[in-house]
Each structure stands twice: as C-alpha cells, then as structure tokens.
Amino acid sequence: MAENPTIVSIDNLSKRFIMHKDKSLKERLVNFGRARQHRDDFWALRNVSLDIPTGETLGLVGHNGSGKSTLLKTIGGIIQPTSGSVQRRGRLAALLELGAGFHPDLTGRDNVYLNAAILGLTRKETDRYFDAIVDFSGIESFIDTQVKFYSSGMYVRLAFAVAVHVDPDLLLVDEVLAVGDEPFQRKCMAKIAEFQSEGRTIVLVSHSADQVGSLCDRVVVLHQGEITHDGDPAEGIRILREGYEADRKLSDKVAEGADARRPAYSITSVDATTREDAESISIILDYLIEIFEPQDEWGIGLSIENSLGLHIYSMTSFGLNATLPNTVGSHRVRITLPDVRLGAGSYVVNTGLGNQSGLNFDERPRAASFDVTGAGFGYGLIRISPDIAS
Amino acid sequence: MSASPADLRAQRIASEPLHTVGQETRFFRGSAASVRDVWNHRELLGLLVRRELKARYKDSSLGIVWSLIRPLAQLLIYYFAIGQILGAARAIPSFALFVFVGLTVWTLFTEIIGNGSTAIVTNSGLVKKVYLPREIFPLSAVGGALFNFAVQLLILILATIVIGEIPWHVQLLYAPLAIAVLVVFGTAVALLLSALNVYLRDIQHLVEVSLIVLFWASPIVYSYSFVHNELQGNWIEQLYLLNPVTLVVLGMQKAFWVAGSAQGPNVNWPADLDLRLVLALAVSVLLLWFGQRVFSRLQGNFAQEL
C-alpha cells in the first residue's frame, strides 16, 4: 500500500498570547499612553512544523505550559495562529472538554442531540446512533432526566458516548480519556483501539506516560512551545522524564541556594548485571557508596521501570534487616533480586539513599539499565513457560 | 482481495483537498465562506434556539406565558400612567393597541440587542472548547427573540380582532418590511456588540443603559404627531426619523393601528415612510455585512480572551 495520506499539515506555526493586565474601559483609557507596559507577550508555540499521516496515533506530551493544548486547539481551529498555517481534511471531532455544550436544564436526550450537532452530526445521523450512544453511556434510565441531576460520572459518560459516536476521521483528545469508573475506562480504551484499527487518526494530549506509551505510534515532545522530540514513543517519554528531572534539580538547587553542603552519603556508581536461565533471571546491582558523615540510620531505595516508563517494582532496604556499613569511607554494597520473571525488553533502575523519615541523601534516577533478551514463550511484561495438557 | 476499512478511509481522505483551518480574516473576502459556514450549521442553530427557549422556561409552571406577562405589565403601566393620568390617550385613538404595537417592536429589539450582545460571553464554554462558526451564538439569540415576537404578534392580531379593528388593508404590507428592517438592523448591531463585548465587558452595561434611553427616542408611548407638532419638520425631526427603530415602530403602527393609520387632524405620518423603510433596509444590510466582517476579524482571539 502507498504511503498514508497526510490528514493534518502544520507549517511553521507560531502563536503569541498577549496578556492585558487591564480589562475595563476605564483602565484602558487611563493607561492608554502606556499600553505597552500593561501587556505581556508570551509565545505559546514557536515555529512548529508537523505532518500527521492518516491512521496515526500521535501523542503530544510536555510540561504544563509547554504549548501542547494550544497546539491541539490550533489544529481544531479554536485558536487562530499568529503566523504559519494549519491545513486539515476529513471530519474532525474535538474532545477538549467533555460535555462542553451540555445545558444543565435540558434532559439527557436533548443534550445528546445538541452535543451531537455541535460535534457536526445531522439530526438524522443522531437518530441513527441514538440507541448506541445511550447504550454505550449505560444510563438508559436517566436519559429523560435533566442533566443537572446527573452525578459527575454519568455526565462525562454521556458526553464521551456522544463524542465517540460522531464518526470522526480525526479525533483530538485532551486529557479526557480517564473518565468514569474502571469498567467504563476499559470501554473507552477498547473504543480507542477500535478507532485505531479503523484507521482513524488520533491526536492525544496526555500527562500519563503509561497511556501515551501504550496508545501512540509517535510522540511529539514540546518544550516552551518548540518541538524537542518527534518520533519513537519510548524515546519521547525518556526525554520528557529527563526534562522533569532537570527542572526538579534546578529548583532543588535554587531552594538549597548557598547551603549546598556535601551530602552525608553519596552514590559513586551503580552497575546492573543480569544472570539468565531458562525460567527466570537474577538482577545484581553493585553499588559503590561513599560515606562522609555517618548518621543514625540510612538505607537504599530503588525502583525498576520498563522503557515506556511503566513502573514495575520498587523497594527499600529498611524492611530487610540487612546491616549496611556505616563508617566514613568507600563501601561496596550488592543487592540481588533473584528469580525475576521479566519479559524481553530493556529496563532502567532508579535509585537513591535516604533515611526512614524521608530525608534523601542522594538520588540517581536512571542510574543503571539492563536488557532482558527474549527467552520464554509468548510476549508480555512477564515471562511464562506455559504448559498445555489434555 | 477487499480493502480494509482503514485503507478505504485513507483513500477517501487522500481524495479530499486540504483546507486551511480557521476563518478568512481579510476584510473584503470570506463573507461568502462565513455565510456558507453558518448555513451548514443551520440545524445546530435551530437546536440552540430551542435550547435557549426550553431552558429559559424550564421548571416554571407558566412557561412561555411569562414572555407575555412582561409586555402586558408594561402595557398596563403605560396605559394608565401616560395614557390616562398624563392624558396622552385623549389625542391618540385606541391608545392601548397603539402602545402594544410599539411595545411588541421594542421587545423584539431589546431581546435581539440585549441577548445578542452577551451571546459570545455566555456561551464561552463552547467558544473555548469546540470550533463552530461563532456567528451562531448571536444568531441563536436573534432566533429566540423572533420566537417570542411571533407569540406577541399573534396576541396583537387576536387583540385587533377582539376590538374589531382588523388591520385588513393595504398598509399591512408595511409590517413585513418593518420587521425585516428591525431584524437585519438588530442582528448587525448584535453581531458587532457581541464581538466587542468579549474584549470590553463594559459594552453589556452600556447596552442596558442605551436601551433605556432609546426607548424614549421612538414613538412607542407617545405618537409621532406630538413630535411633528412640536418640531414642525425641522432638522431635529429629520434626525429623529433617521433612527431605524423609529421607522420600524411607525411602519408597524401604520400596519396594525387601524384607528390612526389614516392622515387626520390629530394624526401625522412622515412623508415617504415606505421609501425610508426600504432605504433603512439597504443600509441595515450593509451594516450587517460590515458587522459580520468585523466579527470575523475579532473572533480569532475569542478563545483566549474569554
């Protein structure tokens, strides 16, 4: 099959927000000559270019205020760009806020028709989908009740049900996938997977790395309005995490200020090695720890994630009754995690030193990594050797 | 081998042309596109009007009747205060009917302007979250006002039948013309004000005050003859007659106020009322176009200003 056609083409897009500090006529008149002082410029997007082919699920990630929602709204036509252009084709549905068009005084039925019309469905089409919508939302018995009496869960379920029945070619989703109770969330995810298999294009803004990792074929990382990564999801999530980490360190440093003392305990190095056999692997972590000022107690904490950032395991040494060295100088510590049945993939280890009351002496995110090669049968996060009998 | 739904979709999308997102903001182009955009959403417009009406009278036992009680109360006040106590009724035949005609027109105008100018701000939830041609919101306010107007007009016609002054004459043709002027003019102003109100919230308060003042600038509770007798056709009277609402009120009175529709000793009509109305319609259409262009220029920043 030929290359998938482009459904959205973004060319050199920039968006500037001007923030006026004065809103009323009086204030504007009073400050007329000094209007420049009373406004702030803020570039939410800078020279963003992006092509989205049909059938792709694109994740937009970034810190708060990095411009991802602005980009989504620009694609949706809700915000006009300052410069550059967005071109688009096919039918669009934007899930920027569930139930944006719901009127609390109208019944669920009226609101379904209204909201469907807002999303671009004709009355005839809504008639056709109406039963499916109500069925999906699971609130048949309340459909003729005014929406203001709905619980918040019922409200979003009905709104989501309308949105996914609009038959869009391009679906814009902003942080609204995690709604309702667990069975309903599963239903939502199943619907998204169905959309993907039907070749619909989805652009997703999310803060959940798990969600982005499991749904998207491509991730765009935005930082202060610019694209810092475009492509592989795992790599994108890694870059995003590093960004968070860098920010946190920066703020830590600022907070510490001149008080940047030498830590009491410090990790010099961590090495991860694995020993594999047919059934399982053992993970061996070799620490080299420098102790400068022994304290009453200290311990080691660690967590393991897969490459998509999914948390797999975490532990601290406190409950283990292990005796750790506590004298000034360099010490070697080995932690062995035996009999781990992990599936194939690459994994990272985050680790740190601290005491039981929560004071951290040292932190080393992504301190070490290890790979597990494909042994065992089947695919997945864990390794299983199944047996079939009859 | 049959193509999968995904492939079919890809093929269909490949055959569609790419189009630029957002409204044409250049001044002299894009009117047609905007009109087409609104036309494509006409079903939604209908639903929004219905939402407006349903929500307004939901949970009240009298419902739509309330939209009549207000003008009827006004009618009573003006009938007694101005008609009987101040004595305006002595010079104006069928004074109650006369006032009711004016009030019907005025109610339509205030509803279009009042609800229209705040339409974008009250629907900010939708404006910020979904792309729609934003003209829809002021237009739905116009639609709601028209519905109420239709109910009042029906009452007006019933009243003329009850008191036996059925307006079945050729001057009835003034009515559609006058209504057209009022709707076009009102829509133009509402579009303009609704867009400006996003940037300057003072507009909605200014509108409230202006409407109170403008009520007295049209011959609703006093007759045009009073004005004419006082001013004798000088430039102030000409200025007075430039007000499109005045022309509309006069046109509607000519159509429905049978007792005074003929030129008489107590009753004066401005010359060429029909021509004035046609001219007012032409100017209103131009104003509507201008208002829409300004609206589409300003609407690009609605989502971030709200």
For residues A82 and A187, the answer to whether their CB atoms sit within 8 Å is: no
pLDDT at position A1: 41
What is the DSSP track for A325-368? Answer: --SSEEEEEEEEEEEE-B-SEEEEEEEEEE-TTS-EEEEEEEEE
Q: CA–CA separation, B119 vs A166, rounded Å?
A: 26
3-class DSSP assignment, residue B20: strand
Give A-chain residues touching B47 at CB under 8 angstroms: 113-114, 117
Across the interface, of B7, B18, B303, the residue whose CB is closest to A79 is: B303
A361: left (phi over 0), alpha (psi -120 to 50) or beta: alpha
Cβ within 8 Å, pair B17-A89: yes
Q: CA–CA separation, B36 vs B76, rounded Å?
A: 45
**pLDDT by 10s per residue, chain B, length 306:** 456 777 777 777 777 777 777 655 555 667 777 888 888 888 888 888 888 888 777 777 777 788 788 888 988 999 888 888 888 888 888 888 999 999 999 999 999 999 999 999 888 888 887 778 888 999 999 999 999 999 999 999 998 999 888 888 888 889 999 999 999 999 999 999 999 998 888 888 999 999 999 999 999 988 888 888 888 878 888 889 999 999 999 999 989 988 876 666 667 788 888 899 999 999 999 999 999 988 988 887 787 777
pLDDT at position A56: 87
Partner A contacted by B262 (CB < 8 A): no
Partner A contacted by B22 (CB < 8 A): yes
pLDDT at position A84: 85
CATH superfamily for domain A1-24+37-90+205-256: P-loop containing nucleotide triphosphate hydrolases (3.40.50.300)
Of A63, A60, A120, A51, nearest to A91 by C-alpha is A120
A265-371: CATH topology: Coagulation Factor XIII; Chain A, domain 1 (2.70.50)
CA dihedral A108, A109, A111, A117 (to 10 degrees): 150
Nearest CA in chain A to B54: A106
pLDDT at position B187: 95
CA dihedral B55, B56, B58, B60 (to 10 degrees): 170
Q: In chain A, what are the domain boundaries?
A: 1-24+37-90+205-256, 265-371
The neighbour count for residue A212, using CB atoms within 10 Å, is 24
Across the interface, of A77, A78, A88, the residue whose CB is closest to B18 is: A88
Torsion sign, CA atoms A135, A136, A142, A148: negative
Cβ within 8 Å, pair A86-B132: no
Give A-chain residues touching B9 at CB under 8 angstroms: 54-55, 169, 198-200
Extract the residue ranges of chain A whose pLDDT is less than 70. Answer: 1-3, 20-39, 99, 176-180, 248-261, 278, 374-376
Chain A to chain B, count of Cβ pairs less than 8 Å apart?
127
Q: CA–CA separation, B260 vs B136, rounded Å?
A: 40
Partner B contacted by A200 (CB < 8 A): yes
Q: CA–CA separation, A340 vs A375, rounded Å?
A: 13
Cβ within 8 Å, pair A101-B126: yes
pLDDT at position B29: 63
Partner A contacted by B130 (CB < 8 A): yes
pLDDT at position A20: 65
Residue A371, beta-bridge partner list: A346
Q: CA–CA separation, A252 vs A239, rounded Å?
A: 20
For residues A82 and A157, the answer to whether their CB atoms sit within 8 Å is: no
Scan residues 165-194 of A and list those with Cβ closer than 8 Å to B.
Answer: 169
> Residue B59: CB partners within 8 Å, gap ≥ 6?
A105
Give A-chain residues touching B128 at CB under 8 angstroms: 78, 100
